[in-house]
């Protein structure tokens, strides 16, 4: 009996439940997809590097899942409380007929179980389907081999999803029972009587509060966007608090002013159904200020998370192309009795019958120089003291790296970059690491001359140029001097560089060459090191390969993308679902109003237009403010992400907009269409 009642209740109020059910399904599906990534990618043939990153990704997604489940839990509790409120009359009827509160709780319990099992089942099915797509995406991101791929179901993720959502539904059940046990019959009965007292807020107060909160928001924007350098965690928290409170107050005051402003425009107000539309909106805006503010802030977080995540990934991939133009780089420096001793490493390996250069189709082999009288401290000139105050922990005694013009140009030819020219008494300073570039630029303005190896040189340019030797995935060159060939002193040679492209075409061949080089290298080290064991010789070397760098970059990029997508998606559907639920239930409440409009002869198209505007405003208002927030929020996050590069920001914002348009816009459209069918004439 109770079961039948519950079941028919769900069927009857399916229109109310549909969007809730729909959201739960998406929630379950997204939860499954991201938790199944670990197992879904186990089949991929990837290197140790990549699989380490996938492992890290799995752990991070695990952690985030807890956070996500809290958000979803709140959404579910909110939605179920909301749906329960709508049924107060029904509960009152049960109580009047003599049904005990326990049995009403039981009805709700059964309903929650039906909805829970239904959404979990459908959501998991969809999730399993989507995760196959996800595997393709993962394989794509990690550039992994997909040939051994088969359809896969992650039992681990299924169990995890079931447990997490089980707990959420349990919380809802407890919450519902608690609500039922507390409610009073008289309140339930009277809840149907609309006591819609439209209070017009004091307009003067509204204007004052509006101005104050706009100013406060402006201040927070200013601090976050332009005062980024002296931003502490405490200050950031303060700004976030100011932002949140002013968001609420802006909605509060706008809702109060909006109607008055519109009403004063008599021409517009008394045109068609406008007066009806605005009254509908303002009667609801007053009661939804709080939820609008929360939604606005959540949208703000979503926009920033998604754009930042995509931006990190995009600029990392773009940087990789620019900053890592060749396959291989080997740097070598030797210290004998703690004194730097230049060694031609290629010649040395020949002594051990290792011919690394045979593996290369093209390469450049050169060395850089260091002048003991030209250290980092010397290069800073008159700005040294200032610098030391700000950055105490830098090594100021290190000699600056100096490269001959011909070597540098040879390298640039290999890299496919622009070569440079120099007059006899000139030098060029290369630096692309942003914070360092700023320091060096100021120095160049005041100290244009340097003295190296007894020659005095003048800077060709007034600021640092973009250029680098080491291949990497980011702009990491902190300073490099290019000088005319005649200037350098061969005795001051420092590190040996060997940079080149493999003698191989395909990816697999390159990997094979690289493996061969590594094993040759290991052989060399293992035979050479014992020969110098007692001679107080220390060597430092670094071997960078494009394969390694790109794996790390791609891995990091993919990780950021996944986490951004995960949080973004959940936030987005939560926001949209709350608005959609509210809109739909408002439509149910307004059926009689639309019925009346029809009776006095309003055009069906005018009614649809009015409904469209109402729905649109409620979706648009929080999004608008969130967009404004995001402009400044992104400015701040770009500051934080500077090292990653921010070149591809426009593209990331575009991508984020498309996602929001699809999901948020989708919810808007569904809400509008459902509302339309709710208010459709029943004749």
Partner 1 sequence: MELLKIQQIEKYYGSKSSLTKAIDDISFTVNKGEFVAIMGASGSGKTTLLNCISTIDRVTSGHIYLENIDITTLKGKQLNQFRREKLGFIFQDFNLLDTLTAYENIALALSIQKVSPVEIDKAVKNVAQQLGITGVLQKYPYQMSGGQKQRIASARAIVTNPKLILADEPTGALDSKSAKMLLERFNYLNYEHDATIMMVTHDSFTASYASRVLFIKDGKVFHEICRGNDNRKQFFDKIIDVVTLLGGDVNDAL
The reply on whether position 4 binds partner 1 by CB under 8 A is no
CA distance 217 to 247: 8
Residue placing its CB nearer to partner 1 in the complex, 514 or 586: 586
Tell which phi-psi region holds residue 564, choosing left (phi > 0), alpha (psi between -120 and 50) or beta.
alpha
Q: Which stretch binds partner 1 (CB under 8 A): 169-177, 196-204, 557-565, 625-633?
A: 196-204
The reply on whether position 287 binds partner 1 by CB under 8 A is no
Residue placing its CB nearer to partner 1 in the complex, 147 or 592: 592
Residue placing its CB nearer to partner 1 in the complex, 438 or 596: 596
CA distance 363 to 329: 9
Select the residue interacting with partner 1 from 269, 376, 396, 453 (CB under 8 A): 269
Smallest separation, CB 675 to partner 1 (Å)? 16
Smallest separation, CB 260 to partner 1 (Å)? 13
The reply on whether position 175 binds partner 1 by CB under 8 A is no
The reply on whether position 604 binds partner 1 by CB under 8 A is yes
Q: How distant is the alpha carbon of residue 100 from its chain centre? A: 50
DSSP string covering 66-112: HHHHHHHHHHHHHHHHHHHHTTHHHHHHHHHTT--HHHHHHHHHHHH
Select the residue interacting with partner 1 from 28, 273, 457, 547 (CB under 8 A): 273
Is residue 61 within 8 A of residue 37, CB to CB? The reply is yes
Binding mask 238-267 for partner 1 (x = CB under 8 A): ----------------------------xx
Is residue 644 within 8 A of residue 561, CB to CB? The reply is no
Select the residue interacting with partner 1 from 132, 283, 383, 465 (CB under 8 A): 283
CA distance 379 to 201: 66
Is residue 517 within 8 A of residue 359, CB to CB? The reply is yes
How deeply is 234 buried, as exposed, middle or buried, from its count of CB atoms within 10 A (0-12, 13-18, 19+)? exposed
Task: Return all residues near 292 (Cβ < 8 A) that are at least 6 apart.
Answer: 251, 285, 618, 621, 622
CA distance 115 to 121: 10
Residue 467 phi/psi, 5-degree rounding, is: -175, 160
The reply on whether position 199 binds partner 1 by CB under 8 A is no
The reply on whether position 69 binds partner 1 by CB under 8 A is no
Q: Which stretch binds partner 1 (CB under 8 A): 80-88, 127-135, 194-202, 298-306?
A: 194-202
Residue placing its CB nearer to partner 1 in the complex, 359 or 590: 590
Residue placing its CB nearer to partner 1 in the complex, 193 or 389: 193
CA distance 101 to 85: 16
The reply on whether position 612 binds partner 1 by CB under 8 A is no
Q: How many residues does the chain have?
A: 683
The reply on whether position 680 binds partner 1 by CB under 8 A is no
CA distance 55 to 38: 7
CA distance 464 to 430: 5
The reply on whether position 197 binds partner 1 by CB under 8 A is yes
Residue placing its CB nearer to partner 1 in the complex, 105 or 283: 283
For the chain, the straight-line distance linking the first and the last C-alpha, in angstroms and rounded, comes to 32
The reply on whether position 227 binds partner 1 by CB under 8 A is no
Smallest separation, CB 263 to partner 1 (Å)? 9
> Helix H segments across 227-273?
233-264, 266-269
The reply on whether position 285 binds partner 1 by CB under 8 A is no
CA distance 321 to 504: 19
Residue placing its CB nearer to partner 1 in the complex, 338 or 592: 592
Q: Which stretch binds partner 1 (CB under 8 A): 41-49, 190-198, 201-209, 331-339?
A: 190-198
CA distance 598 to 575: 33
Binding mask 582-601 for partner 1 (x = CB under 8 A): ----------xx--xxxxxx
Select the residue interacting with partner 1 from 603, 650, 662, 673 (CB under 8 A): 603
Helix and strand totals (H; E) in the chain: 22, 10
The reply on whether position 279 binds partner 1 by CB under 8 A is yes
Select the residue interacting with partner 1 from 14, 270, 335, 391 (CB under 8 A): 270
Smallest separation, CB 89 to partner 1 (Å)? 18
Residue placing its CB nearer to partner 1 in the complex, 229 or 592: 592
The reply on whether position 415 binds partner 1 by CB under 8 A is no
Contacts with partner 1, residue ranges (CB under 8 A): 194-198, 266-267, 269-276, 279-280, 283, 592-593, 596-604, 606, 683
């Amino acid at each position: 009996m109770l079961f039948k009642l519950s079941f028919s209740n769900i069927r009857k109020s399916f229109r109310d439940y549909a969007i809730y059910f729909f959201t739960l399904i998406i929630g379950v599906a997204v939860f499954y997809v991201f938790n199944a990534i670990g197992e879904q990618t186990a089949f991929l043939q990837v290197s140790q590097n990549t699989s380490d990153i996938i492992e890290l990704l799995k752990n991070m997604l695990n952690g985030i899942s807890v956070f996500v489940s809290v958000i979803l839990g709140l959404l579910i509790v909110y939605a179920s409380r909301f749906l329960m409120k709508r049924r107060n009359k029904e509960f009152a009827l049960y109580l009047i007929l003599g049904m005990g509160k326990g049995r009403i709780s039981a009805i709700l319990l059964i309903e929650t179980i039906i909805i829970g099992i239904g959404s979990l089942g459908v959501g998991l099915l969809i999730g399993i389907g989507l995760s196959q797509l996800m595997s393709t995406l993962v394989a794509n991101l990690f550039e992994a081999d997909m040939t051994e791929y088969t359809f896969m179901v992650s039992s681990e993720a299924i169990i995890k999803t079931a447990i997490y959502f089980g707990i959420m539904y349990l919380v809802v059940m407890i919450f519902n029972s608690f609500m039922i046990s507390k409610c009073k019959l008289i309140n339930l009965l009277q809840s149907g009587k609309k006591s819609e007292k439209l209070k017009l807020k004091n307009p003067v107060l509204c204007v004052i509060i509006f101005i104050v909160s706009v100013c406060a928001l402006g201040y927070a924007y200013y601090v976050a966007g332009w005062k980024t350098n002296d931003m502490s965690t405490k200050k950031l928290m303060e700004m976030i608090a100011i932002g949140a409170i002013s968001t609420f107050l802006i909605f509060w005051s706008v809702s109060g002013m909006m109607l008055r402003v519109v009403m004063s425009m008599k021409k517009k107000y008394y045109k068609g159904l406008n007066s009806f539309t605005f009254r509908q909106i303002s009667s609801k805006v007053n009661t939804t200020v709080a939820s609008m503010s929360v939604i606005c802030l959540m949208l703000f977080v979503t926009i920033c998370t998604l754009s930042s995540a995509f931006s990190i990934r995009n600029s990392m991939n773009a940087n990789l192309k620019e900053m890592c133009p060749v396959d291989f780089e080997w740097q070598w420096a030797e210290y004998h009795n703690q004194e730097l001793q230049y060694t031609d490493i290629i010649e040395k390996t020949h002594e051990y019958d290792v011919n690394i250069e045979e593996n290369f189709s093209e390469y450049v082999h050169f060395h850089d120089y260091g002048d003991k009288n030209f250290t980092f401290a010397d290069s800073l000139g008159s700005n040294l003291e200032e610098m030391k105050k700000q950055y105490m922990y830098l090594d100021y005694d290190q000699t600056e790296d100096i490269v001959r013009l011909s070597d540098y140009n040879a390298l640039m030819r290999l890299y496919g970059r622009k070569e440079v020219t120099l007059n006899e008494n000139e030098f060029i300073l290369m630096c692309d690491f942003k914070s360092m570039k700023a320091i060096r630029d100021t120095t160049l303005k005041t100290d244009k001359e340097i003295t190296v190896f007894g020659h005095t040189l003048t800077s060709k340019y007034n600021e640092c140029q973009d250029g680098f030797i080491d291949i990497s995935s980011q702009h990491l060159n902190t300073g490099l001097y290019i000088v005319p060939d005649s200037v350098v002193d061969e005795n001051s040679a420092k590190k040996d560089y060997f940079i080149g492209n493999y003698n191989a075409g395909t990816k697999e061949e390159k990997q094979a060459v690289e493996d061969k080089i590594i094993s040759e290298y290991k052989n060399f080290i293992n035979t050479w090191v014992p020969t110098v064991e007692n001679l107080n010789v220390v060597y430092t070397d670094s071997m960078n390969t494009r394969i390694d760098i790109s794996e790390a970059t791609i891995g990091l990029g993919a990780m950021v993308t996944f986490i951004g997508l995960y949080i973004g998606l959940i936030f987005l559907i939560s926001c949209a679902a709350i608005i959609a639920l509210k809109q739909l239930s408002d439509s149910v409440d307004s059926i009689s109003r639309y019925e009346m409009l029809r009776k006095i002869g309003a055009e069906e198209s005018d009614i649809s237009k009015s409904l469209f505007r109402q729905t649109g405003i409620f979706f648009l208002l929080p999004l608008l403010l969130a967009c404004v927030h995001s402009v400044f929020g992104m400015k701040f996050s770009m500051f934080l992400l500077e090292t990653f590069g921010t070149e591809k920001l426009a593209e990331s914002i575009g991508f984020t907009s498309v996602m929001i348009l699809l999901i948020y816009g989708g919810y808007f459209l569904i809400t509008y269409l459902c509302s339309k069918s709710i208010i459709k004439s029943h004749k």
